[in-house]
């Protein structure tokens, strides 16, 4: 949808399509029973995506208080990709990481439904991480920026499932769910980085990894 670019006629975070075009996409998707995720990093694009009725705003880098308030009122989800933005910011003469942190904290304080989003690439591809299988590194920054470990874990489980419209399939451990479970040695409610050291993996009720067997 848009990055951080500015257009003298549109403003900061200028979108790549009009509100009417975006609304048409969202309306047709919803008519077909499909949820809509809109990548809108900042400014006008974020506000427009909320006005268009997007179900989630993806990879938000800079969002103002008024847009955050609108997201809470509508019930829009957000993902931030904090780790990826921090990596990018290290090579730019631009306060991107600080803006990302402030936006995350603004949304968290207001009660926005924040889901885990990492923007992971393939195994050590052209992008400088995080890579598939390293998504849990995002939880570390989410906690550093103000979430409790339990809030961060929910962002990757129950809140993430709700964002996908899959609350009746995944995201919690209960009868009738898909039985996708991981296990770690320590208590991630005390140290969320434990989730970066997975020892046990069950997918659909089938165990694929169990490093506890030798103990």
pLDDT at residue 13, as a whole number? 82
Check if the beta carbon of residue 202 is closer than 8 Å to that of residue 208. Answer: yes
CA distance 113 to 128: 28
CA distance 130 to 120: 5
In the DSSP assignment, the letter for residue 208 is: E
Nearest to 58 by CA among 19, 2, 97: 2
Q: What is the pLDDT along the chain (215 residues), one digit of tens a residue?
A: 666 667 776 777 888 899 999 999 999 999 999 999 999 989 999 999 999 999 999 999 999 999 999 999 999 999 999 999 999 888 888 888 999 999 999 999 999 999 999 988 888 878 888 998 899 999 999 999 999 999 999 999 999 999 999 999 999 999 999 999 999 999 999 999 999 999 999 999 999 999 997 65
Neighbours of 63 (CB within 10 A): 30
CATH superfamily of 6-150: Metal-dependent hydrolases (3.20.20.140)
Nearest to 163 by CA among 209, 115, 195, 198: 115
Structure tokens at 206: 């089938």
Check if the beta carbon of residue 62 is closer than 8 Å to that of residue 41. Answer: yes
pLDDT at residue 32, as a whole number? 98
Check if the beta carbon of residue 140 is closer than 8 Å to that of residue 197. Answer: no
pLDDT at residue 215, as a whole number? 59
Domain boundaries, the chain: 6-150
pTM, two decimal places: 0.92
CA distance 150 to 194: 12
Cα 131-133-187 angle, rounded to 5 deg: 125
């Amino acid at each position: 949808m848009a990055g951080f670019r500015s257009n003298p006629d549109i403003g900061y975070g200028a979108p790549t399509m009009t509100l009417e075009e975006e609304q048409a996409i969202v309306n047709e998707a919803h008519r077909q029973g499909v949820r809509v995720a809109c990548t809108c990093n900042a400014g006008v694009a974020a506000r427009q995506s909320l006005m268009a009725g997007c179900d989630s705003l993806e990879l938000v880098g800079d969002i103002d208080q008024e847009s955050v308030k609108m997201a809470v009122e509508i019930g829009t989800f957000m993902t931030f990709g904090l780790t990826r933005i921090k990596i990018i910011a290290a090579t730019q003469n631009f306060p991107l990481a600080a803006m990302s942190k402030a936006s995350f904290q603004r949304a968290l304080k207001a009660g926005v439904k924040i889901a885990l989003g990492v923007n992971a690439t393939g195994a050590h591809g052209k992008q400088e991480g995080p890579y598939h299988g390293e998504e849990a590194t995002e939880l570390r920054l989410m906690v550093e920026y103000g979430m409790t470990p339990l809030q961060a874990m929910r962002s990757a489980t129950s809140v993430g499932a709700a964002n996908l419209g899959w609350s009746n399939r995944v995201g919690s451990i209960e009868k009738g769910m898909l039985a996708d479970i991981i296990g770690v040695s320590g208590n991630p409610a005390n140290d969320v980085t434990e989730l970066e050291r997975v020892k046990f993996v069950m997918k659909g009720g089938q165990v694929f990894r169990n490093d506890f067997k030798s103990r």
